[in-house]
Structure 1
């Protein structure tokens, strides 16, 4: 079967699974062909796959047809222009989160030697991007689970920032509560899906991505309440608390921050026009 035939046939089959069926097929082809780029695919539409390549592609496409996320299959996701290794057990980086990172970089780009705390390592996307694009910063990255810490460390090495990041196993602030650590920036993309909404999520999210990175309590706001209340002990004067929030949560999260003494609070919209980021200052 030629590359062109595969693209036509399997794009059709993936229409009920993916919003980007053709792109998914092309990405899986790139992987099956040994890591070629998309230009190679487009310039070789009449090329026949070898038997081994076809077997490999079929394994990939069967996984995708079951709903397994494309990022877990190819073990990679691009974020902020950087490559991240991902596997099951870590939340897949999403474009929405780039809004949070871009805003923090813009706010902090003229500041030197920042101490940053990221709560919820995941793949390390926020942690590593901030370390990369704020090159004098030092970052501590906390996560309750071992797999994100392992993956984050690997991605920090790959992206050349491991010397400025410390990964710590911690349930929120627990592992640093007996220290005198204080930070210029505390940032988090916490679990924020209301418990009752989990079953309504797409198969590729609810059946594959880690539950404890999704579920944020009955109203989705549990972690915002906990982090905001506890953060006051660890944030410097004029320090920044920054969150990614769910599509309808910005007002509620801003109110939580006000009630905990944060000021100059504002929101930032993502590319879809949704209030995706909430930022406040401790004065």
Structure 2
């Protein structure tokens, strides 16, 4: 079977996907270890039976709802490549606004100490360490798979000496020696309300880790607790940076203001939705 025939077959099989052509191209190019342009240039190239069978196996996984990134094992974020697998949240483009705002606000700080709470794949930690060369980043998570994957991604992106991976329930595992020394605490915490989770897309609610989605019945559990536990660690004029749900800007800013943060700012993503909140402590 030729490349274009295999793609057309896959597209028909993925009748339950909103992006069947893209899914098929990404999965085949990943299998061939080529970019998607290669598929167009070589559309008449014959695929071996072995390659075709492996491709159709991946298509079957996608048809059942498994996210493309779990099938390929990789996801791009901040123009970097990240390993992903079940047990870690797949990095989203929306989260790039959070990383960009942190980088923008630490660019003039010499050797900042940054703590990423709930590191997941390490997308935030590793990106910050990669683009702020003198930063030291503590990547915290309570689950073993995210810690393992963050270590792999730190090594993959050449920042394993700058990213310190620690098992921690929120900030409880962070050494008290860092009291008053942390410049930034950043987090993309679980923030989805309990009542909303059953309505999420199938490939999210059935495959991505529940622990990385559920933010309590009001969606604010982690914002309240991270803010509370951050206070001994943050320097004066240090700041917290949160990713938020589109309707949580007001509530998260109030949590920070009520905890003694003298300035808060809310930033929108490319779709015009509230996506990140930053707050500076006195």
**Deviation at residue 103 of structure 1 after TM alignment:** 1.1
- 1:110 to partner: Cα distance: 2.2
- 1:276 alignment counterpart: 275
What is the SS of the residue equivalent to 2:195? helix
Instruction: Report the number of matched residues.
Output: 281
Please give the alpha-carbon distance, in whole angstroms, between the structure 1 residues aligned to 2:133 and 2:15: 42
Q: Does 1:228 align with 2:227?
A: yes
Runs of 4+ displaced beyond 4 Å: none
- Counterpart residue number, 1:9: 9
- Residue of 130, 133, 140 corresponding to 2:131: 133
State the superposition RMSD in angstroms.
Answer: 1.1
Shift of 1:36: 1.1
User: Is this contact kept in 2: 1:32–1:54, CA < 8 A?
Assistant: no
Per the alignment, residue 122 of structure 1 pairs with 120
**Which whole-Å CA distance do the structure 2 matches of 1:15 and 1:280 have between them?**
45
Q: Superposition pairs for residues 235-250 of structure 1, below 5 Å?
A: 235-250=234-249
Deviation, 1:15, is 4.2
Residues 111-163 of structure 1: CA deviation (Å, up to 9, x unaligned): 21000000001000000000000000001010000000000001001100010
Query: Aligned runs of 1:101-112 on 2, under 5 Å?
Result: 101-112=99-110
Q: For residues 205 and 90 of structure 1, what CA distance do their matches in structure 2 show?
A: 11
Is the CA contact 2:242–2:278 (under 8 Å) kept in the aligned structure 1? yes
The residue aligned with 1:196 is 195
Does the 8 Å CA contact 1:257/1:280 hold for their aligned counterparts? yes
1:263 to partner: Cα distance: 1.8
For 1:55-100, what per-residue CA distance to the aligned partner results, in whole angstroms no more than 9, with x for missing partners?
A: 1001100000000000000000000010000010100000000010
Residue 72 of structure 1: aligned partner: 70
TM-score when scaled to structure 2? 0.97
The DSSP-based 3-state class of the residue aligned with 1:187 is strand
1:32-111 pair list within 5 angstroms: 32-33=31-32, 35-111=33-109
Deviation (angstroms), 1:177: 5.8
Partner of 2:158: 160
Determine the C-alpha separation between the residues in 1 that align with 2:73 and 2:183. Answer: 33
The answer on 1:148 being equivalent to 2:154 is no
